[in-house]
Amino acid sequence: MIDLSGRVAIITGAGGGLGRAHALLLASRGASVVVNDLGEDADLVAAEIRAAGGMARAMRCAVDDAAAVQEMVRTIEQDWGRVDILVNNAGILRDRSFAKMTLEEFRQVIEVHLMGAVHCTKAVWDGMRARNYGRIVMTTSCSGLYGNFGQANYAAAKMALVGLMQTLGIEGAKHDIRVNCLAPLAATRMLEGILPPEQLAWFKPELVSPALLALVAENAPNRAILSAGAGSFELAYVALTQGIHLGEDASAEQILARWAELTDRSGDFVPVQGFDQARHELRKAGFAPEG
């Protein structure tokens, strides 16, 4: 049984949808929850938690406002002593084809999803390092992992969060700060109009939140990309195929002619860190790099 008693969690975008479901579940497991959102929905969710016997506080601020985020974290650390869990869930949509998308629409989505997560993570990072404990979840998306028509801005932000997670998971490991990604599919306002009602009915936010709880538990993994939707759970990976070695006489024509070999998934692997690509390529070239 995962017990979060004594833990303090900040959940952004928690006024409704996935964020609300996450907040209710973490509170039910004993966490003191900061319900972050822009409007009065944050107050309603915090009140709902308190009515159920939990501890919660609404904090209204925009995650793309770095100074406001710093003040939110400073206040919570001063009043509640710590922040153990951060769930970067806040997001917006500005969907349209790339041909019709304005640069401002692109920037808005990057600022909220990517920079919002950066602002929140930066604000809690030093405290987590000092206490040698932290659990951080970035909310990525299948749109970022695999692409989706009309969501170039959203997909770019969501894939960027995967890279952020991978690096922070490496940097935070010695301080027991575990950083993971959640790729949810849930029937929230952000999915309305994309799926028909009969399909949306399968994607309840409450069916995603168990994955979130697993990623913030004391025995959580580190650097996982956990997909969740409709009660199903999968792991996504960024893998390398074994590929081919062409040597110093390599040409683009040879690459294309042997494309089938490049795409052969047998023997593919997941690098532990970026330099593993260099090690892999040196081995194929006949060297045996250490480490």
pLDDT (tens digit per residue) in 5-26: 999 999 999 999 999 999 999 9
114 and 254 in a single domain? The answer is no
Convert the pLDDT of each residue in 97-134 to its tens digit. Answer: 999 999 999 999 999 999 999 999 999 999 999 999 99
User: Looking at the domain assignment, is residue 255 inside a domain?
Assistant: yes
CATH number where 163 lies = 3.40.50.720
Convert the pLDDT of each residue in 47-75 to its tens digit. Answer: 999 999 999 999 999 999 999 999 999 99
Rounded to whole angstroms, how far apart are CA atoms 291 and 285?
17
% of the chain with per-residue pLDDT over 90: 92
User: Looking at the domain assignment, is residue 2 inside a domain?
Assistant: no
133 and 174 in a single domain? The answer is yes
User: Looking at the domain assignment, is residue 289 inside a domain?
Assistant: no
Distant-in-sequence, close-in-space partners of 256: CB < 8 Å, separation ≥ 6: none
66 and 192 in a single domain? The answer is yes
231 and 264 in a single domain? The answer is no
- Token pair recorded at residue 22: 């996450």
Threshold 0.85, pTM exceeds:
yes
Please confirm, yes or no, whether 154 is among the known catalytic residues: yes
Which structural domain, as residue segments, surrounds residue 280? 247-284
Please count the structural domains in the chain: 2
H helix or E strand, kind and range, residue 288: none
Kindly tell me if the per-residue pLDDT of 189 is higher than 70: no
63 and 192 in a single domain? The answer is yes
Rounded to whole angstroms, how far apart are CA atoms 140 and 161?
6
- Token pair recorded at residue 215: 């990623």
139 and 228 in a single domain? The answer is yes
190 and 257 in a single domain? The answer is no
Catalytic residue, chosen from 133, 146, 154, 237, is 154
User: Looking at the domain assignment, is residue 166 inside a domain?
Assistant: yes
105 and 226 in a single domain? The answer is yes
| DSSP code of residue 188 | S
203 and 256 in a single domain? The answer is no
195 and 262 in a single domain? The answer is no
Other CB atoms within a 10 A radius of the CB of residue 127 amount to 18
Kindly tell me if the per-residue pLDDT of 235 is higher than 60: yes
User: Looking at the domain assignment, is residue 291 inside a domain?
Assistant: no
Buried b (16+ CB within 10 A) or exposed e, 138-177: bbbbbbbbeebebbbbbbbbbbbbbebbbebbeebeeeeb
- Token pair recorded at residue 74: 């400073």
If you average pLDDT over residues 214-240, what whole number do you get? Answer: 97
- Of 236, 255, 276, which one is at a domain's C-terminal end? 236
User: Looking at the domain assignment, is residue 184 inside a domain?
Assistant: yes
CA geometry: angle 102, 121, 136, nearest 5 deg = 110
96 and 163 in a single domain? The answer is yes
Tell me which of 200 and 30 has the higher pLDDT: 30
User: Looking at the domain assignment, is residue 131 inside a domain?
Assistant: yes
136 and 101 in a single domain? The answer is yes
Looking at every residue in the chain, the average pLDDT score rounds to 95
User: Looking at the domain assignment, is residue 3 inside a domain?
Assistant: no
